[in-house]
């Protein structure tokens, strides 16, 4: 089909993109690869290409070991599933490593076996950080291309991103997960540490760029908090041009490890995020209840 809609979900990180991926992956009118994040458009330079190729090589090796263990244990179904994932990753790895003179190989990988699907999607949050020129190239790939950018309460998103970073850290520490998470958050808001975390939550910069490049009819800025409601999901389906089959709003995807955020640090973090709250309130509103409550703390 030539009239299939291509969707890029460009973030924000820890704002519901995994939930949206899983729902669309399971929708009969959509075709999404079993690898959620392709990392094609954010790895255009030779160094980034090499780094991402190496990252996929490591995952392929890990999955291969898991497949071998499953076979030894007689878990044939798991072994077969892992074989499919290895094939998918290997195909993507070859696309990432190849020349980028055109994007035909990427589209062939993304749309393989799509059949009569109405929607084909790449759900890579880091695409929010690519340049405006590269966004233009992304949009030009297909006749009908849409972009979704999910935004979540800034404090909730920041705290979730911090916890994810701490979970992935291999730091050897006697401190508890709670203590390490609060320490990392303090370093982010007081010392400007780990700038990639705050950069992923710079809604103002990303939305301004998207609005400059993406036609308004093809761009959806949605609050993650609204996405989990029947009304919000219906609005998303209308935008994507797919049938609203309903969703389980209670379903959690990649929720992350829990930790207790110190109240005094939460207040400090909300003040740190004041500009994001104010900008979204002015340019994207109406704000969901959680946003309003935190914005009130800023203005108190």
pLDDT given at position 250: 65
Burial 124-135 (b: 16+ CB within 10 A, else e): bbbbbbbeeeeb
Is residue 54 situated within a structural domain? no
Give the Cα separation of 243 and 186 in Å (integer): 44
pLDDT at 288 over 80: yes
pLDDT given at position 104: 96
Is residue 97 situated within a structural domain? no
Q: What is the pLDDT of residues 111-168, one digit of tens each?
A: 999 999 999 999 999 999 999 999 999 999 999 999 999 999 999 999 999 999 998 8
Is residue 260 situated within a structural domain? yes
- pLDDT confidence bin for 253, thresholds 50/70/90: low
CA 298, 152, 216, 42 torsion-angle sign? positive
Is residue 129 situated within a structural domain? yes
286 cis-preceded (ω within 30 degrees of 0): yes
pLDDT given at position 257: 78
CATH number at residue 136: 3.40.50.300
Is residue 89 situated within a structural domain? no
Is residue 161 situated within a structural domain? yes
pLDDT given at position 256: 65
Q: Which residues pair with 150 in a beta bridge?
A: 222
Give me the domain span that covers residue 20. 5-36+120-299
Domains identified in the chain, total number: 1
Q: What is the pLDDT of residues 170-221, one digit of tens each?
A: 666 778 999 999 999 999 999 999 999 999 999 999 999 999 999 999 999 9
Give the Cα separation of 211 and 220 in Å (integer): 10
Is residue 43 situated within a structural domain? no
Is residue 55 situated within a structural domain? no
């Amino acid at each position: 089909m030539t009239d299939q809609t291509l969707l890029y979900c460009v973030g924000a990180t820890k704002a519901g993109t995994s939930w949206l991926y899983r729902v669309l992956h399971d929708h009969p009118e959509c075709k999404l690869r079993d690898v959620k994040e392709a990392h094609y458009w954010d790895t255009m330079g030779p160094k980034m290409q090499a780094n991402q190729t190496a990252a996929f090589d490591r995952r392929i090796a890990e999955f291969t070991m898991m497949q071998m263990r499953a076979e030894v244990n007689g878990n044939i179904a798991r072994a077969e599933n892992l074989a499919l994932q290895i094939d998918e990753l290997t195909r993507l790895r070859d696309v990432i490593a190849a020349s980028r003179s055109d994007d035909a190989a990427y589209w062939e990988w993304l749309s393989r076996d799509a059949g009569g699907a109405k929607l084909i999607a790449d759900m890579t949050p880091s695409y929010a950080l690519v340049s405006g020129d590269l966004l233009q190239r992304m949009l030009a790939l297909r006749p009908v291309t849409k972009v979704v950018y999910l935004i979540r309460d800034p404090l909730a998103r920041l705290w979730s991103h911090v916890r994810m970073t701490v979970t992935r850290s291999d730091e050897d520490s006697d401190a508890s997960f709670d203590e390490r998470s609060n320490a990392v958050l303090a370093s982010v808001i007081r010392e400007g540490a780990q700038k990639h975390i705050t950069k992923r939550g710079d809604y103002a910069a990303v939305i301004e760029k998207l609005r400059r490049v993406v036609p308004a009819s093809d761009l959806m800025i949605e609050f993650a908090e609204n996405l989990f409601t029947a009304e919000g999901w219906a609005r998303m389906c209308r935008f994507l041009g797919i049938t609203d089959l309903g969703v389980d709003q209670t379903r959690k995807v990649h929720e992350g490890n829990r930790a207790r955020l110190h109240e005094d640090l939460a207040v400090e973090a909300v003040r740190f995020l004041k500009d994001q709250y104010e900008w979204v309130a002015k340019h994207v509103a109406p704000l969901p209840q959680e946003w309003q409550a935190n914005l009130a703390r800023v203005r108190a």
